[in-house]
Structure 1
Amino acid sequence: MEDKERQRYILFKIISEGKIEDKQLIRAIWKNLFQLYGDFGTSQTGLWVIEYENNHGIIRTNVQALQMVRTALAVIRKIEDKNCLFVVIGVSGTIKALKKKHLSKLNSGA
């Protein structure tokens, strides 16, 4: 029997000069992943944007690619001519635990 691939969920916020649309966000993340890791490396991430609203959201990736995705987020400095900075609030193995542990930090502006 094949083992299920372990997932990690990343809660993040974007500090930017304006609102970043979800399509702009997705395009920027994929572009940076391709630039850093190429087609093969990017295909191994299992990246999926689960939620995104008001410049914060949740991204899913597999556990092996967690550092790759965090690196790709860290080097994004501009999305559609808007200066921005990604801040990873927390990482967890389930969405429920992620929200329970870290959503209060996001709401308090940490």
Structure 2
Amino acid sequence: MLSSPLVGANSKLLAGLALAHRLPAVTLFTDFARDGGLMAYGPNLLGVFRQGGVLSAKILQGAKAAETPIETPSKFEFVLNLKTAAQLGITVPASVLLRGDEVIE
């Protein structure tokens, strides 16, 4: 599923629609899986915002933006909703469960 602020703001509605239409949907917003979506995998958004703040502070303190290295997210999260998987008839392998940062039962 497209990952945009619109998706993040409507995760409960979209998770419900996906389940009603029996669609195994995935997005980067972890609340989507917590709200009933099948799974979410993406960067830890709090960490991304923190990185943005640190980079902004460096620039405000005199660092040149053109010389400031680009940073990529350092922490990603995988949230899996087993209740939704069961409702969709999906069996999740143990190897996938072990990778989950959060598994909702």
Shorter chain as denominator, the TM-score bin is: under 0.3
Tell me the TM-score normalized by structure 1.
0.27
Structure whose residues are more often strand by fraction: 1
Tell me the TM-score normalized by structure 2.
0.28
Structure whose residues are more often helix by fraction: 2
Greater RCO, 1 or 2 (C-alpha within 8 Å, sep 6+): 1
